[in-house]
A = this chain, B = another copy of it.
Amino acid sequence: MEPISLDETGLGPEAAEAPDGEILGKMIRDARKEKGLTLEEAAKAAAIGRSTLSKIENNQTRPSFEIIRRLMQTLELETPQLFVQSGQSGVTGRRDFTPSGSGEHKKTSTYDHELLCSDLTSKRMVPYISTIKARDVTEFDNWVRHQGEEFMFVLSGEVILYTEHYRPLRMGPGDSVYYDSGMGHGCVSTSVEDARVLWVSLEG
C-alpha cells in the first residue's frame, strides 16, 4: 500500500482525502443519530466545537486522536476496526488474555474489552472478551444496542444480563445466551471479583 504523502501542497482542499476517512465520518454520524443527539448536543458532551464535529462527520478534516477519543466516549462507540485497514486473511489468533496492566487496557466506565482477533476486515463476526467490573450497579436508562445478533458466554464470575424486553438473567461460568443485540441490553457483575465474558457479535 502506498503511503500517503501528508504534505501535498497546492492541491484542492478535498482533492486528496483520507482513504478510510470515509468510514470514520459515517460511523460517527450514525452513532450520533443513533443516540438522537444533535451536533450541538454531541459536540458539547464531547467538549468539542460544533463545527469541528460537522467537519469530522463529513470527512473534511483529519481529527486528532484526542478528539476522536472523546467522541467515542460520548457516543459510546467502540471500534477497533478503525485501527485496522487492509488485512491479511487466514488464521488469526490471540494468545491467552493479556494480563491487565500491560497498558492497553484503558477501560470505559464499566467494561474492559479485549478483541480476540487483530484484524477485523474480512471478518463478519467480532469476538471479544469483556471484563466487567465487580459490583457495577449501572442503571440502564441507556441500553447498549447495535443491530445484529450476539452470543455471550460467561467465562468466570457471576453476572446479570439485563435486557429491555425480558427479565434479568442471572448467569455463571459456562452459561451462555443468544439474543438480538438490537434489543437494549447491558451486563453487570454481581460477583466479588470481576466477571469475564466472551462475546461474539454479528452485525446486521
Residue ranges of A at the interface with B (Cβ–Cβ < 8 Å): 3-4, 6, 10-12, 15, 18, 20-21, 23-24, 26-27, 30-31, 34, 44, 47-48, 62-69, 72-73, 75-101, 103-108, 111-118, 120, 123-128, 145-149, 151, 153, 161, 163-166, 169, 171-180, 182-184, 198, 200-204
Contacting pair B82 A104 (CB below 8 A): no
Q: How many copies does the complex hold?
A: 2
Contacting pair A81 B95 (CB below 8 A): no
User: Which residues of chain B have C-beta atoms less than 8 A from A179's C-beta?
Assistant: 90-92, 94-97
Closest Cβ neighbor of A94 among chain B residues: B180
A-B contact pairs, 8 of them (CB 8 A): A65-B67, A80-B104, A85-B201, A89-B182, A91-B166, A96-B178, A99-B171, A116-B176
Closest Cβ neighbor of A165 among chain B residues: B93
User: Which residues of chain B have C-beta atoms less than 8 A from A6's C-beta?
Assistant: 48
Given A83-B80, A88-B146, A91-B166, A153 and B198 touching (CB < 8 A)? Answer: yes
User: Which residues of chain B have C-beta atoms less than 8 A from A20's C-beta?
Assistant: 106
Contacting pair A117 B87 (CB below 8 A): no
Closest Cβ neighbor of A11 among chain B residues: B47
User: Which residues of chain B have C-beta atoms less than 8 A from A198's C-beta?
Assistant: 153, 198
Contacting pair B126 A85 (CB below 8 A): yes
User: Which residues of chain B have C-beta atoms less than 8 A from A92's C-beta?
Assistant: 147, 177-180, 182-183
A49 to chain B, nearest CB (A): 8
In order of increasing CB-CB distance, the 5 nearest A-B pairs are A90-B147, A3-B47, A84-B113, A78-B84, A96-B174
User: Which residues of chain B have C-beta atoms less than 8 A from A73's C-beta?
Assistant: 82-85
Closest Cβ neighbor of A151 among chain B residues: B127
Contacting pair B72 A175 (CB below 8 A): no
A12 and B70 CA atoms in complex are apart in Å by 15
Contacting pair B81 A87 (CB below 8 A): no
User: Which residues of chain B have C-beta atoms less than 8 A from A63's C-beta?
Assistant: 64-65
A200 and B128 CA atoms in complex are apart in Å by 12
User: Which residues of chain B have C-beta atoms less than 8 A from A111's C-beta?
Assistant: 84
